[in-house]
Structures are given as C-alpha cells and as structure tokens.
Amino acid sequence: MTLDDIKKEVRDIPDFPSKGILFKDLTTVFKNAQCIQLLASELHAIYKDKGITKIIGIESRGFVMGSMLSLTLNAGFVPIRKKGKLPADCYEIEYQLEYGSAIIELHKDALNKNDVVLIHDDLLATGGTLAAAIRLVKMAGVKKIYTNTLVELEFLKGKEVIDNDVEFRTLIKY
C-alpha cells in the first residue's frame, strides 16, 4: 500500500456541509487498517527525532491519528475542542471557516513553556482551523510548534495563513 492508494480511498461528498463544498471524507480511510498503519508509520518517521512532548488533536477527526501519534512518539495527547466541550479554564479563539465561523478552546493547563508540540488535523482547506489552533498553542507559550495534516487541498491555499515560524507537513495533496 502507498499514499496514492490511500488517496484513492478518500470519498468525495458534494454539497456537504453546505452547497458548493466538495467535502473530502476520510472515514473511508480510517476504516481500513492498512491505511491507518501506513499513515501512522509515515507520520512517525517524520516526527520521531523532533523531541515532540505533546500531540494536539483538533476536534474531531484530528483525534484519530493524533492519539495514535501520541503512542508512537511517546508524547501526551491534548485535544483542541469546540467551545463549551472542555471542563476547565480555557484559552479560546474565534475564526472563520470556508462555510461560517467557529470557536475552539484549549485547556490553559495543557501545555507549558518546555513543550514541543505537534498540532495534527485530518485536512487543510482554507487554513482557518489550523491557524486558530496555532494561535491557541502560542498563547500557552510553548518552546516549538510543528503542524501536519493527512490531506491538503492546495487550490484553497490554506498554507498561506500558517505562521512562517511553524513547520507544516502533509501526506496527500489535491
């Protein structure tokens, strides 16, 4: 199995979550054990020597590979969630999506100044969610931030909104 094989497993859903959006559905990838194993192996190879101490998974599809990465990299797992889903004091940020706006939160006590963080999500579209997650993590004052997604929709130019001091990697591009 290769990353091109995984790319073929991604399902297109037209007009979801709103008219005019072509949604890239990765649930078809996640249900395939071979796909998950290859993705986990590829991501581990990229980050194994970076000194990652915490993996940040962005709700909710970022939790799938994010939690696996925390195991393979021997790092803690920290969720970034939609407003109102985390029980303790949080940093929060509002941002624009390609089809609306949202607020995400991060527990204030989840990170510290010595953490080397990898922020993971399943897909980069316009970059709004990932850029907001980066701003949240920077509020916590960590040592270093890396970011990655499984898929990048290059035509939406989401990489352009990611801070220059944050390394971004992706495995599959459309």
Residues with catalytic annotation? 61, 98
Query: C-alpha angle 32/61/143, rounded to 5°?
Result: 120
* Cβ(61)–Cβ(10) below 8 Å: no
CB count in 10 Å sphere of residue 154: 11
Q: Is the previous residue joined to 60 through a cis bond, with omega within 30 degrees of 0? A: yes
Q: What is the dihedral of CA 165, 103, 149, 31, to 10 degrees?
A: 160
What does the alpha-carbon distance between residue 61 and residue 144 come to, in Å, rounded to a whole number? 23
